[in-house]
């Protein structure tokens, strides 16, 4: 109570002074205290003068409740924004973790399958070699028994047959050894491929971790900015409460004057959100520009680049900016042309395409189609042996 009284005397001293002057003025009227009517008028005047202080104090109490309610609403809104950013960051982290796990599982399965296939092939080759050696040993034993039972001529024939079989087996063994060496080289190449793939996966994981770290830093910066904005809003509201102007008399517009406070707080929130939104928009624009550049580079690399023929002939050259990802085709009647299916034109440069007739002296009627789906402009009649060049105005009709 003492603190409230001190605050009233400090902030509303002019109201107290006006009330004191009004009371002194009533007392200076020198009303007769023994007269009942004059005494009643004096008391009524003093009570009316006290309203100069009482009414503004009551109005200030109502405004204070509204300010506290508005401050609580602003705190709730900022807390919701921070929670939303944290949820988005958590969802992105979980998505990256799932993607990393999928990449690791896919690489592991591919390596295991390739190693199993190579091991199975090597095992089959070794089993075939063992079977051939076993058969050779059996034949050698049979030949030894036949030589022991026969004479010298039969012995010579048996030796020659044995030599032939040994040479055939040697050839078979060499082939098996070559297959085993080839299998070993394939295993070595596969291991190197698996190692390269693991290295690539490790690089991708490192990149993903770096991107995740950067996203976390951005989210932390955004959270710090929101926290700073909340603290600044609280400081502004507190300063406004301490230095709020008070009217000398109650007015209906006193409550309406508090409305700009909420507007200022909302402006602070928008100022905090603006850098985040601008950063996201800039990243999206950079990604779109990179994708357009990649598509244009792919079109240029995939197109067949060839210089214009130096000796003339039936040639059609067009200067047309058909757009990134689009290509011109030619249909018509003449050598190498069909009215139903188009033929891709040769890329000479940016916005410059060419079609060369396989028969330099033959005339042709040519139609240019966009992506072999949409006709462009009117058909062109080419005289035999003469090059023709048209500009973009032929296709736009200007």
Give per-residue pLDDT as tens, 80-132.
889 888 888 888 888 888 888 888 888 888 878 887 887 788 778 778 878 87
- The encoded tokens of residue 246 equal 């008070």
Question: Which of the residue ranges 51-60, 146-155, 160-169, 211-220 would you say has the lowest mean pLDDT?
Answer: 146-155
CATH: 2.60.40, 3.30.160, 2.30.110, 1.10.3470. Which one for 303-396?
2.60.40
Residue 348 near residue 303 (C-beta atoms within 8 A)? no
Q: Any alpha helices (H) in 28-151, and if so which ranges?
A: 36-149
Smallest CA-to-CA distance from 163 within 177, 148, 143, 133 is with: 143
* Greater model confidence, 347 or 218: 347
Angstrom distance (rounded) from CA 260 to CA 222: 26
Over range 182-199, report the average pLDDT. 75
Evaluate if residue 69 carries a pLDDT over 90: no
pTM of the predicted structure, to 2 decimals: 0.29
Residue 388 near residue 382 (C-beta atoms within 8 A)? yes
Angstrom distance (rounded) from CA 160 to CA 151: 14
Q: How far is CA 390 from CA 328, 333, 396, in A?
A: 14, 19, 12
- Model pLDDT for residues 223-277, shown as the tens digit of each residue: 777 777 777 777 776 777 666 544 444 443 443 344 444 444 455 455 545 555 5
Q: What percentage of the chain carries pLDDT values higher than 90? A: 11
Smallest CA-to-CA distance from 7 within 349, 242, 353, 176 is with: 242
Angstrom distance (rounded) from CA 343 to CA 372: 8
**Residue ranges of the domains in the chain?**
1-245+257-302, 303-396
Angstrom distance (rounded) from CA 207 to CA 194: 20
- Model pLDDT for residues 38-67, shown as the tens digit of each residue: 778 888 888 887 787 777 777 766 666 777
Q: How far is CA 53 from CA 27, 60, 107, 297, in A?
A: 19, 11, 82, 79
Phi/psi of residue 362, nearest 5 degrees: -90, 135
Angstrom distance (rounded) from CA 244 to CA 66: 13
> How are strands ordered across the β-sheet holding 352-356?
346-349, 352-356, 315-319, 387-390
Angstrom distance (rounded) from CA 166 to CA 293: 67
Angstrom distance (rounded) from CA 292 to CA 159: 78
pLDDT at 355: 92
């Amino acid at each position: 109570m003492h603190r409230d009284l001190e605050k009233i005397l400090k902030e509303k001293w002019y109201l107290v002074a006006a009330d004191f002057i009004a009371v002194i003025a009533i007392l200076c009227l020198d009303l007769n205290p023994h007269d009942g009517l004059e005494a009643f008028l004096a008391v009524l005047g003093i009570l009316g003068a006290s309203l100069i202080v009482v009414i503004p104090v009551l109005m200030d109490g109502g405004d204070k409740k509204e300010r506290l309610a508005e401050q609580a609403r602003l705190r709730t809104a900022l807390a919701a924004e921070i929670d939303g950013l944290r949820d988005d960051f958590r969802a992105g982290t979980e998505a990256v973790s799932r993607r990393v796990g999928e990449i690791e599982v896919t690489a592991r399965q591919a390596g295991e399958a390739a190693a199993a296939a190579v091991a199975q092939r090597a095992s089959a080759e070794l089993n075939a070699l063992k079977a051939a050696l076993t058969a050779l040993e059996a034949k050698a034993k049979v030949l030894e028994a036949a030589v022991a039972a026969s004479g010298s001529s039969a012995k010579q024939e048996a030796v020659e047959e044995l030599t032939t079989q040994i040479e055939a087996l040697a050839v078979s063994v060499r082939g098996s050894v070559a297959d085993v060496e080839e299998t070993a080289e394939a295993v070595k190449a596969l291991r190197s491929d698996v190692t390269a793939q693991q290295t690539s996966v490790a690089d991708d994981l490192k990149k993903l971790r770096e991107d995740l770290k950067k996203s976390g830093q951005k989210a932390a910066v955004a959270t710090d900015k929101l926290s700073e904005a909340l603290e600044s809003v609280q400081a502004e509201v507190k300063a406004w409460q301490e230095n709020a102007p008070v009217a000398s008399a109650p007015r209906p517009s006193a409550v309406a004057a508090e409305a700009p406070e909420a507007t200022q707080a909302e402006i602070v929130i928008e100022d905090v959100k603006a850098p985040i939104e601008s950063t996201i928009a800039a990243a999206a624009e950079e990604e779109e520009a990179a994708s357009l550049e990649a598509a244009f580079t792919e079109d240029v690399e995939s197109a067949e680049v060839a210089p214009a023929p130096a000796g003339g002939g039936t040639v059609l050259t067009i200067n047309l900016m058909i757009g990134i990802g689009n290509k011109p085709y030619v249909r018509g009647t003449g050598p190498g042309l069909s009215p139903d299916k188009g033929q891709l034109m040769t890329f000479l440069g940016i916005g410059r395409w060419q079609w060369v007739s396989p028969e330099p002296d033959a005339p042709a009627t040519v139609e240019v189609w966009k992506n072999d789906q949409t006709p462009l402009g009117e058909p062109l009649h080419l005289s035999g042996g003469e090059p023709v060049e048209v500009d973009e105005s032929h296709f736009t009709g200007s």
